[in-house]
């Protein structure tokens, strides 16, 4: 059977055959890479026939790429320049509400583990990846033990200890701190600091996604207890601009929404790293100018998120250019979010209050008409790399084969959309529709981006064709993704009818992704004034059936049953026309050819600069 396994699965399969992975770990990781649970089970059954008595003595784990770093000297590479056209607003990843802030924080702050492009976990601040094989992960997934590396220091010289991990958990679970990843830590029932370098975490129920809180894009970096415990607001505010971390760099200078310069963390644990003495992260501009500055002119070493039309990117490519286009991942969903609350009525000092229904979008007929009246195939063909590489999607959970719903269909049918609206009483009144004196007019809101503005134009025309009046608006991403007090134009407040942005699905099971439509007890997960708009459910969507299945799915240890549950969740959203997924696409970056591509280690599961400690020149 081993000869039949190709690509990223071969590494997992070899580990299984050698006894480096047990049955449960193999199934979890194979499903995480998109293999169906049935196939994974079949492979483990076949492997069991040749298993040796000493199998599962150790656990397999990934290795962080560090090619040609052995003989280098710290700082010998000089300056490296990054162009991130969505500039960071603050630098504490724990309270970040957008990727732009997490990206910039990642040069300073670190999580316990990382997830590599092939889905394998690799140790970062711990000595080994917890597993059932090494005894650090309970067989029933109700506890996990982390063992910290010895000698790791914070950038101010204090030692990293297990007490810092415990403090981070406490800090996040304190609702007054407005941590955006509260839900990942909520399942924790107990934490025990065993010794200075060991912490045991116990969950109230089996937790198949135990790793999510400690690795990947949904995770939270470790916080320094000695800095933040009992700190007043001035200290926490200062930490947002100059955080103390364990990463390879410290913040030298920060200009919000513009630029960050970083210097070497002299207390970084590897004496010959980082290679670059200084990092300049420049914000501003747009994706198209970023592509030119990295691919054509080589002014920057790395340009993030080149959300540029494919024809323009192809025109820029030339073998004589100093830079090149790099694509990776493929689990990002561009989507339009429909507001289920009224953005124009104020209740208790806030609009879009969760118990105040939207006067138009509460009507299922309107939501369905919007869905089938939107030409997603055209968007994929004209603004992305087309149906094969970056397809239009009808499923908001898309890209994981074992969890791709077979029960849905991509439909573009303007005539059927018109009929739905007619039957629901939304009749033409001039150029657009109305019902009971309410005009069918909606505001669509997104970030400033050439691709998104073109999508807006198509959407506006699509809606006009079926009698819906759409006012398109946009704002700089620094505002859209900034959850600061007083900012009423961000995606968390959601004071519009429809907004648009993208999210990565992440590693399966996609608990952290699908929480976006989970309301929780008393609406706890809905973004509201009472939780400082940190709830992950921005649409104010409330569906008891969805909540019940989600609650069961997040603790379901069986991969096959879990996949079935997530398909059910997707189908609920599809049938309720709760969200409008548009296109599934991969990430694109412009990279100078002198950068060592292997050490970039770009992964759909981690933020782009996660391995900057190992970046070097070819």
Query: What's the Cα-to-Cα distance from 563 to each of 54, 173, 393, 574, rounded to whole Å?
Result: 31, 29, 19, 16
Q: Does some domain include residue 32?
A: yes
State pLDDT tens for residues 95-128.
887 889 999 999 999 999 999 988 889 999 999 9
Give the least confident one: 5-19, 77-91, 217-231, 280-294. 5-19
Q: Does some domain include residue 261?
A: no
Q: How many domains is the chain built from?
A: 2
Spatial contact of 91 and 101, defined as CB atoms under 8 Å apart: yes
pLDDT at residue 26, as a whole number: 66
Which residues, other chains included, contact 68 with Cβ-Cβ below 8 Å and sequence gap of 6+?
596, 616
Q: Would you call 249 helix, strand, or coil by DSSP?
A: strand
CA 585 to chain centre: 13
- Nearest-5° angle of CA 437, CA 440, CA 442? 130
Give the least confident one: 152-156, 216-220, 262-266, 441-445. 216-220
State pLDDT tens for residues 4-34.
444 445 566 666 666 666 555 665 566 554 4
CA distance 306 to 324: 12
Tokens (6 digits) for 202: 């116990």
pLDDT at residue 192, as a whole number: 98
Mean pLDDT over each residue of the chain, to the nearest integer = 90
Longest pairwise C-alpha distance within the chain: 78
CA distance 500 to 453: 11
Tokens (6 digits) for 185: 């830590």
Q: Does some domain include residue 214?
A: no
- Dihedral over Cα of 416, 419, 423, 428: its sign: positive
For residue 47, is pLDDT > 80? no
State pLDDT tens for residues 372-413.
999 999 999 999 999 999 999 999 999 998 999 999 999 999
Q: Which of 535, 522, 465, 508 is nearest to 183 (CA)?
A: 535
CA distance 189 to 142: 10
Domain with 10, as residue range(s), is: 2-48
State pLDDT tens for residues 226-271.
999 999 999 999 999 999 999 999 999 999 999 999 999 999 999 9
Q: What is the mean pLDDT of residues 35-49?
A: 47
In 53-193, where does DSSP find H-type helix?
99-105, 162-173, 182-185
CA distance 172 to 163: 14
Q: Which of 585, 573, 575 is nearest to 502 (CA)?
A: 585
Q: Does some domain include residue 165?
A: no
Q: What is the pTM for the complete model shown?
A: 0.83
Assign residue 353 the CATH number of its domain.
3.10.105.10
Q: What is the mean pLDDT of residues 54-73?
A: 74
CA distance 249 to 516: 33
pLDDT at residue 1, as a whole number: 32
pLDDT at residue 38, as a whole number: 41
pLDDT at residue 49, as a whole number: 42
Q: Does some domain include residue 97?
A: no
Give the least confident one: 53-57, 307-311, 579-583. 53-57
């Amino acid at each position: 059977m081993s000869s039949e396994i190709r690509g990223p699965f071969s590494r997992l399969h070899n580990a299984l055959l050698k006894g480096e992975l047990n049955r449960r770990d193999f199934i979890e990781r194979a499903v995480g890479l998109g293999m169906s649970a049935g196939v994974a089970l079949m492979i483990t059954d076949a492997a069991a026939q040749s298993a040796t008595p000493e199998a599962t003595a150790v656990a397999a784990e990934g290795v962080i790429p560090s090619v040609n770093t052995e003989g280098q000297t710290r700082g010998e590479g000089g300056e490296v320049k990054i162009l991130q056209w969505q500039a960071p607003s603050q630098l504490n990843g724990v309270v970040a509400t957008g990727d732009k802030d997490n990206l910039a924080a990642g040069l300073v702050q670190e999580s316990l583990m990382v997830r590599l492009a092939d889905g394998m976990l690799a140790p970062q601040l711990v000595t080994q990846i917890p597993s059932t094989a090494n005894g650090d992960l309970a067989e029933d997934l109700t506890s996990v033990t982390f063992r910290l590396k010895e000698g790791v220091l914070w950038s101010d010289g204090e030692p990293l200890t297990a007490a810092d991990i415990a403090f981070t958990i406490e800090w996040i679970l304190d609702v007054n701190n407005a941590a955006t990843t509260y839900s990942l830590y909520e399942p924790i029932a107990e934490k025990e600091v065993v010794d200075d370098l060991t912490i045991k975490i116990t969950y109230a129920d089996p937790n198949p996604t135990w790793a999510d809180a400690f690795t990947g894009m949904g995770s939270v970096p470790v916080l320094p207890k000695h800095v933040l415990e009992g700190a007043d607001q001035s200290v926490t505010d200062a930490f947002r601009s100059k955080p103390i971390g364990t990463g390879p760099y410290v913040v030298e200078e920060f200009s919000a929404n513009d630029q960050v310069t970083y210097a070497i963390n002299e207390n970084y644990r590897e004496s010959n790293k980082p290679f670059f003495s200084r990092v300049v992260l420049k914000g501003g501009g747009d994706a198209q100018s970023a592509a030119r500055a990295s691919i054509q002119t080589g002014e920057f070493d790395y340009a993030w998120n080149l959300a540029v039309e494919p024809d323009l990117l192809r025109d820029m490519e030339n073998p004589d250019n100093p830079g090149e286009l790099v694509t990776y991942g493929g689990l990002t969903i561009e989507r339009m979010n429909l507001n289920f609350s009224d953005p124009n009525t104020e209740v208790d000092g806030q609009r879009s209050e969760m118990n105040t229904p939207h006067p138009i979008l509460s009507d299922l007929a309107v939501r369905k008409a919007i869905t089938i009246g939107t030409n997603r195939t055209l968007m994929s063909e004209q603004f992305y790399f087309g149906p094969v590489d970056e397809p239009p999607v009808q499923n908001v959970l898309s890209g994981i084969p074992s969890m791709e719903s077979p029960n849905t269909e991509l439909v573009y049918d303007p005539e059927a959309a018109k009929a739905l609206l007619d039957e629901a009483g939304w009749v033409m009144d001039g150029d657009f529709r109305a019902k009971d004196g309410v005009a069918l007019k909606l505001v669509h809101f997104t970030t400033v981006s050439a691709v998104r503005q073109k999508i807006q134009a198509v959407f506006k025309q699509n809606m006009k064709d079926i009698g819906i009046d759409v006012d398109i608006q946009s704002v700089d991403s620094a505002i859209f993704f900034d959850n600061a007090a007083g900012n009423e134009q961000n995606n968390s407040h959601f004071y519009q009818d429809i907004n648009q942005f993208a999210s990565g699905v992440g590693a399966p099971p996609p608990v952290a992704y699908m929480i976006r439509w989970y309301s929780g007890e008393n609406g706890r997960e809905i973004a509201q004034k009472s939780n400082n708009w940190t709830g992950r459910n921005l649409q104010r969507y409330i569906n008891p059936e969805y909540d019940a299945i989600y609650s069961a799915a997040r603790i379901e240890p069986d991969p096959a049953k879990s996949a079935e549950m997530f398909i059910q969740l997707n189908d609920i959203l599809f049938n309720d026309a709760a969200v409008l997924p548009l296109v599934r696409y991969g990430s694109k970056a412009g990279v100078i050819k002198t950068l060592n591509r292997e050490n970039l280690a770009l992964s759909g599961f981690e933020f782009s600069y996660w391995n900057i400690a190992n970046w070097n020149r070819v």
